Structure formats: structure tokens, C-alpha cells
Structure 1
Amino acid sequence: MAVCPGPADHRLLGPPCSPRAHVFLPLLFFLWTLLSCGLRGAAQGPGEWTPWGSWSRCSSSCGRGVSVRSRRCVRLPGEEPCWGDSHEYRLCQLLDCPLGTMPFRDLQCALYNGHPVLGTQNTYRWVPFHGAPNLCDLNCLAEGHAFYHSFGRVLDGTPCTPGAQGLCVAGRCLSAGCDGLLGSGTLEDRCGLCGGANDSCLFVQRVFRDAGAFAGYWNVTLIPAGARHIRVAQRSRNHLALVARDGRYVLNGDGALSPPGTYEAAGTRVTYTRGAGPEETLQAAGPTSQELLLQVLLREPNPGVHFEFWLPRESYGPFQARAQALGWPLRQPQPREVEPPRAETVVAPEASPARVASLAPDTCGPCPDSRGRAHRLLHYCGSDFVFQARVLGRHRQAQETRYEVRVLLIYKNRTPLRSREYVWAPGPCPCPPLAPRREYLLAARRLVSPDGTQDRLLLPHAGYARPWSPAEDSRVRLAARRCPA
């Protein structure tokens, strides 16, 4: 109950209490208590985790083991349990165990040697039994007898099976992700980044068909330092060859064939396969520590050498410059260099302006409506390339329209883009049409012909081609975050 101040306290606490205060103050306290209890009872959502504790010592004194750390869930009455795990396990790798050291599972079985089990006074010597269903139970076989017994779970850090990578944790067989955490499932992306999204490197892919008719070694491509996930394949009586930086052949040099197998080169292992048929392959995980030169030893006309690898973004520019200087373009040659100028072709903006011949509007019908967020999201997520480009020229060619564009800003690319590209649109009346000298946001797909002779950027009919603006830039960046993984 509230207590009113006496007369001596009026100067400090304000005017004297009226008789109403004796009723009002207890009522106010009761309402505050009721409201506070009601809010607590209506608490929703999960509780909150305390910070992670420190990692424990490794479960093993040598070889591989497990370290654990934990946290605690703090929640009010009515709140749900915290989301996530209260314990986290990571792999700890110590020095190899000395020769003759008893394996961890063997040691756990041996602890029961000479002790009565199964409700009798009989004693046995126990060794691990690996034929039981649960790999993380301590299943031990009685030596000299045809039965085994399960003594419960093995200790954390016990290998699931001899020689396997998985370790038993809390009765489950878990493997470590690239982050070292058991059961995380985190993998390296193609760039070698743990848990990455393949956005710190670029994909190089091509079919080499430029060799001449005479026999001998022909240069196919340079494989730069830092390349990962290298794959080369060809199907013919010709043979792949690989040359190290010092000029020595790694395989198939000096006209002599090397046996299939694994070879050490540039800091990685190269697996060379050649079967009874005409197919040959080279594969290497990388990353390469130095350049390698890929060649083909011609014995018959070259049907094509397929090669691909991933490069760090900072390595792509120097590689492209060297490859083009050596006459090995990264995309199949396009007709820009050999085609005579046409009246319809628009020159680059820095050249003298000329009157541009355009497609006659009266010969083309209206395009379907392609506006809206759903349309933008569909084409952004389903395309191979999204980029800002300035249209330099336009040309009708048979039943296609070819745009020459300058790439200004790249939002998405599955394979590298050059500063100038051709973008092809189906039909002489493409939808939507692109006007020369204007800038657009384009979503294009990569189209490679079955024989590998054409490698194009295709702008689908009724696809995504919007005049570029700051607002359109914001919309396309928002679409990038909403694509399904």
C-alpha cells in the first residue's frame, strides 16, 4: 500500500495526498503488475543463445580427433526453445600416431577384456566388429566365438570405419566440411573459397579447331597459374600433350605416348586417361602453381579439343591478353574482322556520326508486352549473362538480327565477356528491338552449336531488354537477390 508523506515532507514531495490517492495508487500498481505478467505470458519466438564457449581439447592425443564447444539457451516462460544446435564439433588434426599404436576403437573394446558380460561369469577378449548396422556403436566380437556384443556408443572422435574420413559424434557418423566443422556440409566452390558462390573466379571454356593439316604438335592454349578444375577432352587418333614452364613435356612428348595415369605438374596432379576407343581426357583439381602449355599431337585432321578451367578474376585479364596475342581467342572467331562494312552498320560513338539505316517499322508488328517484375525475375534468373551495353550497330542477316554492343557493366556472367560483343536476336523483327546509340540492360543466353563452330550470345524473343536507368539498375540488383539457389 502507498504511504502518503507527512506534513513535514510537503516541501520536498509536493502537495499533500488527497484521500483519492489512497485508492488510486494501489489500483495503478495492480494494473502495472497485471500488464507486466500478461506481456510475459504472451512472449513468442525462440529464446537467445549465450555466446559460444571455448573449444575443448582434442579427443585424441595423435592423429585425428574431435574438439567440441557449447552454448546455452536463455528463454523466458512462454518462449520457444532456441533454434540451432547447443554443441558444435570440429576436426582436430594432430601428428600421426606412432607405428604400432592401438586404434581407438580397438582400445575401447579391449577395456572389457576379462570382465564378465551377458549376465554370466564368462569372460572374453574383445576385438572390433565392423559388420553391425550402426557404425557408431561399440560393437565388439568375442575372439574365438561366433557372436558380438554392443557396449553402447563409441567415444566421440572414433573413426566410423577403418580408413574412412567420417568420425563418430554423439552416435552419428559425420564428415567435416571445408570449414572443419563436422556435419556442416560446407563445400569449396569452383574458386576454392569455402562456402563461396563461384563469384570470385571466371569460367573459361572453348573448343579448339584451329590446327592445320600437317602432322606434329600444335599449341591449343595456355593454362595459367591459379587455374582450377581443369578438364580437357578430345576424340580422335590425335593425342593431348602437356608442357611445363621449363619446356619439358609432362606427357606425350617427343612423339612418344605416355601411359595413362597420374602425373605431377605445376603443383597439382593431372589424371590422364586413354581407353581402347578414340577418347582422351586430362583432369586436374588445381590450383596450378605455374603456367602449363596444352598441345595436341596431330596424326589426322583435328575434330576439336574441348578444354575448360576456372580462373581467379584478377588472373583473367592477363590471360586473355596473352591468349589473344598468341592468336587464341577465347570465343570462336566471329565475322567482325572479315566482314566488309555494310550500310546498316553503325560506327562507334567516337567516330564521325553517320545516318543510321533502321529496320522499317511498318514491316514489323507490335511486340508482346514484356513488362513487370515477374518477367524481369524470370529472365534474370534463367539467363547466362545480364549486362549494361551500348548498341553500336545493327544488321539484318537472313532470319536473324545481329547487334554489335559495347559492354559497360556486368551484373551476371557464366563465362567471360569481352568489351565488344555480338548479340543475336531471332528473326528480322526482334522483340524487343534495340535502337543504335542507346544503352540497355540485357539478359542473354549462351548458345553453342552442336559441332562447336558457333558460340553466340542470344537475346530471346520477348526477352529482357530495357533502356538503362538508375531505377532499372536498382530493379535488376533486387532481382539478383531473389533468384533461387
Structure 2
Amino acid sequence: MGKLRSGAAEWLVPGHTGRPRLFQNLLLLLWTLFSCSLGGSAQGPGEWTPWGSWSRCSSSCGRGVSVRSRRCIRFPEEDPCWGDSHEYRLCQLPECPLGAVPFRDIQCALYNGRPVLGTQKTYQWVPFHGAPNQCELNCLAEGHTFYHSFGRVLDGTPCTPGAQGLCVAGRCLSAGCDGVLGSGALEDRCGRCGGANDSCLFVQRVFRDAGAYAGYWNVTLIPEGARHIHVAQRSRNHLALVTGDGRYVLNGNWAASPPGTYEAAGTHVVYIRAPGPEETLHAAGPTSQDLLLQVLLQEPNPGVQFEFWLPRERYGPFQARAQTLGWALRQPQPREVEPRPPDPPPAARAAVPTRAPTLVPDPCPPCPDTRGRAHRLLHYCGSDFVFQARVLSRHHQAQETQYEVRILLIYKNRSPLRTREYVWAPGYCPCPPLAPHREYLLAVRRLVSPDGTQDRLLLPHAGYARPWSPAEDSRARLASRRCPL
């Protein structure tokens, strides 16, 4: 599901300069004359005008939508502009007063007392939410067992009561973290919208110290600003959490707290105690103050696992305080969390200097060279799909790698594609590798299992996957003309 598109365009005819862009128009004229002298014609896409200003919110209270638009300026020989002519964003106004009539109810009520269905009979209408298209104005005739669709609801109408999605031009769209409806933008682990997990560090360790006596033992300091906190242990011991002023959030004073959600340091801490000897803590963060994680020992400690993400600028002070308290910490891991081997034995850890971390060699061998026009033509012409896509996530499953992608532009497809698809690559170390949050031009094949239970998009080993750029786009369009019919 993507942002809405509209075919609005303007033709640029000789003698019409539009906005005063003399230098750009002069370059365009020179390029046109050069192309004509070679016997060619103007090719490529047109040019967008700057975005207009955002419109007023569609609602007077609560949630609604604003829209802005732009126009495509192009010669008759040029392709339409790439991208969207309209963009919609969420606007949040003060909550509607108690007793306010919902927006959909108002739209249905507009047809009260008006003849419909080709007769002079009138009805009183209320919203009906059981119809297939939730962005149609489906209204139920009060006192009767039928409903009628009056077309699309107005932009900004909630798709269903209490849902986050809003209807825009007949489609139910959700806002990304950038507030744009249908953008699909997500926050990374650092809390940055559309980020790549590069502004924070991943801290992970197993606390294995075994106390000589029962009681509370310090595990780690969870600093202010920590996100995506996860703690787990499997024993009859209990996890305890202490605020900066010494107040226990849970499992304090030798008393077990019930499982549930607790508020601490500006975030919600979910405490789960399974029927067996398993205990976990989860918190989304960010924390507004330091927290101290402890374990109440009642038996030998098998290990307390903890992890969280921390802004880079806070890692140095955190490490200094942790070392002062006698907690040796592993070097932080940037970006994405990959499966990690088990910790080395204590003797091996002691042999490695703490201030000179060794570089871990890349376990994946280098990929074969796949550059060149012949390779591009081979994969472009032999593929079922060629498209520009943004990689949203990457997961390793058994001997395969799964990429979730959002398709931005389709060059070639032999069957319909959805806005979001999964692309599979063979092996734990696929070639070429795709990095999350980057855009690529991909040539993939459709692979259907003999029994018909699996229908996949496959990126072959040493296949065609290039970082998207205008130059790569031009090469792909040229390759499409060289494929045999």
C-alpha cells in the first residue's frame, strides 16, 4: 500500500518559460537541439514543480488529513514524471468534545429523508461497518436489514472506529513516523524516523557472577535514554528494578511482585513471570532517568541476559560508571542485531585487553564480480520482475535470507505485484547482499513450488541487484529495449 498517485501534468510548449528559471531552460534548449541534431528526440521523465503548501486539516477536531500537490512539466515526447503528484499527511487537532457525532455518522445522516434506490421512499441512515470496502460510505437503513453505499467517504474519515488508518481517495492508509499517510516510514532502534540504527549502539551481555550469599546483587546500570530494553533469566531468582532515588519498582524488600506493567523512568516496563523458572522484563523507552537492574539471589545464578540500545553520546559516561561499579562490559554493536555466538569462557575473556577490541573477520566470503552490460542484459531479459525497491528489513531463516521490500517503481512484471513484497535469496551470505533502509534496482524471478504451496520472488545467486541511481535507471531502461521479443 503506497502513497496515492495522480496523473496531473502540464505541457511545456515553445515560448512558455513558466517560472523564471532562465539558466535551466537554456540548458534544456541546448540538450534538445543536440538530441535533434543526432536524429533523436527528448527522452526521460519530465520535471516536477516544487511542492505547494499544505491544505487546512480535513477535520475541525481530532485526527484528519492535509494535502499538498505538485505539477509535472514535460515535453510531449517525454515520459511522465516519476513519483506522486499528491501527498497526504496526518494532522492532529485537540480531541473532539464528549458527545460529538463521529464523522462517518454525519456523512450518513446527510441522506436522511432523501429518496434513494429509485423510489420516493426515505430512510434514516446510520454507519454500517460490515461491508468489504471500509472506505465506502456504507449506511444501514434504520429498522431494516439492508445497507446502501453512497460512494467514497470524505478524506480523513477513520477506516473503522478506533483504528489508526484514515481513508484518503477511497483507500485506507496509515501514517508513517514522518506523518505522511502511506509512506511506510518507520523509526529505527535509535528512535529516528527512517534512520539506519547508526546514531545509537547496541549493548548486550550476560551477567554470570554467582554471589556467595542470598540477597540483592547489582547486574547493570540502564542509563537515561535507553531504548528497547530486554532482560531475561531462568531460575528461582528474581529480577529487581530500582529508580535513581533508590525506590524499588518491582521485587523489592524481599517481596515478589505480581506480573504486569509498571511505570518507571518515563516508560512502561512489562514484567512477565512464567509458570516455570523464567522471568523477563521489556520496556520500549526511552528512559527519562537511570535505572539499576538487580537480581535477588536465592540459588546459584545461571545468568541474567540484558540488552538495550543507547545513544552514542551516552555510551562513554555509561561505560565509565559501569566500570567504576565493577561491571565489565562488552564493546557495543552498532546497527542491526545479528545472531551472536555464545560468550567465550571467563579465561578467554580475561586474555583479551579491554581497551583494544579485536576486529572480528567477516564470516561471508567476497561475492563474484557481477558488473558489465552483458550481466545486466542476461538478468534483465531472463527475469520475471524488474523494479526499484527500498529494503525494509532482513531476516535469516535456515539456509535462506528473506528481505521485506517496498516497491517504488516497476520496470517489468509478468504478474501483479503488491506494494510490499518478500524477496528471497539463497544462503546465509547472499550475493549480492542487500542492506536495510537502502534502495536497489532488482531483477528477480518467480519461483512456484511443484505442489503450489509456495509462490516466491527469488533473487538468484550473483544476480542483478544494484544500488538505485539515475544512471542505473537509464541503463535498465536501455536494457529493456535490447531484450528479444
TM-score by length of 2: 0.64
Counterparts of 2:259 and 2:121, CA distance in 1: 57
Could you tell me whether the CA contact under 8 Å between 1:273 and 1:281 is conserved in 2?
yes
Deviations 1:73-117 (A, max 9, x none): 000011000000100000000000011100001110110111111
Is the partner of 1:288 in helix, strand or coil? coil
Provide closer, same or farther for how the CA distance between residues 131 and 323 of structure 1 changes in structure 2, counting only shifts above 3 A: same
Deviations 1:347-385 (A, max 9, x none): xxxxxxxxxxxxxxxxxxxxxxxxxxxxxxxxxx99999
Aligned to 1:203: 202
Aligned to 1:282: 281
Provide closer, same or farther for how the CA distance between residues 208 and 382 of structure 1 changes in structure 2, counting only shifts above 3 A: closer
Is the partner of 1:420 in helix, strand or coil? coil
Counterparts of 1:294 and 1:463, CA distance in 2: 42
Query: How far is 1:268 from its partner?
Result: 0.9
Aligned to 1:225: 224
Provide closer, same or farther for how the CA distance between residues 325 and 402 of structure 1 changes in structure 2, counting only shifts above 3 A: closer
| 1:484 maps onto 2:440 in alignment | no
Taking the TM superposition and a 5 Å limit, the aligned residue runs for 1:453-464 are none
Could you tell me whether the CA contact under 8 Å between 1:165 and 1:175 is conserved in 2?
yes
Aligned to 1:216: 215
Aligned to 1:301: 300
Provide closer, same or farther for how the CA distance between residues 102 and 227 of structure 1 changes in structure 2, counting only shifts above 3 A: same
Aligned to 1:419: 355
Is the partner of 2:120 in helix, strand or coil? coil
Instruction: Mark the runs of 5 or more structure 2 residues left unpaired by the alignment.
Output: 1-31, 341-347, 368-431, 437-485
Which letter does structure 2 place at the counterpart of 1:264? E
Deviations 1:414-447 (A, max 9, x none): xxxx5313x4xxxxxxxxxxxxxxxxxx5526xx
Aligned to 2:75: 76
Provide closer, same or farther for how the CA distance between residues 150 and 382 of structure 1 changes in structure 2, counting only shifts above 3 A: closer
Counterparts of 1:132 and 1:149, CA distance in 2: 10
Query: How far is 1:482 from its partner?
Result: 8.1
- Aligned identity (percent) is 79
Taking the TM superposition and a 5 Å limit, the aligned residue runs for 1:250-269 are 250-269=249-268
TM-score by length of 1: 0.64
Which letter does structure 2 place at the counterpart of 1:419? R
Deviations 1:210-263 (A, max 9, x none): 131421111100000010000001111111100000001011100111111111
Query: How far is 1:61 from its partner?
Result: 0.2
Give the superposed CA RMSD: 3.0
Is the partner of 1:283 in helix, strand or coil? strand
Counterparts of 1:275 and 1:320, CA distance in 2: 32
Provide closer, same or farther for how the CA distance between residues 237 and 382 of structure 1 changes in structure 2, counting only shifts above 3 A: closer
Aligned to 1:328: 327
Counterparts of 2:203 and 2:85, CA distance in 1: 43
Aligned length: 330
Provide closer, same or farther for how the CA distance between residues 237 and 35 of structure 1 changes in structure 2, counting only shifts above 3 A: closer
Query: How far is 1:37 from its partner?
Result: 6.2
Aligned to 1:155: 154
Aligned to 2:104: 105
Structure number with greater Rg is: 1
Which structure exhibits the higher relative contact order, with contacts defined as CA atoms closer than 8 Å and separated by 6 or more residues? Answer: 2
Could you tell me whether the CA contact under 8 Å between 2:63 and 2:93 is conserved in 1?
yes
Instruction: Mark the runs of 5 or more structure 1 residues left unpaired by the alignment.
Output: 1-32, 333-380, 386-400, 407-417, 424-441, 446-459, 465-480
Query: How far is 1:174 from its partner?
Result: 0.6
Which letter does structure 2 place at the counterpart of 1:50? T
Aligned to 2:399: none
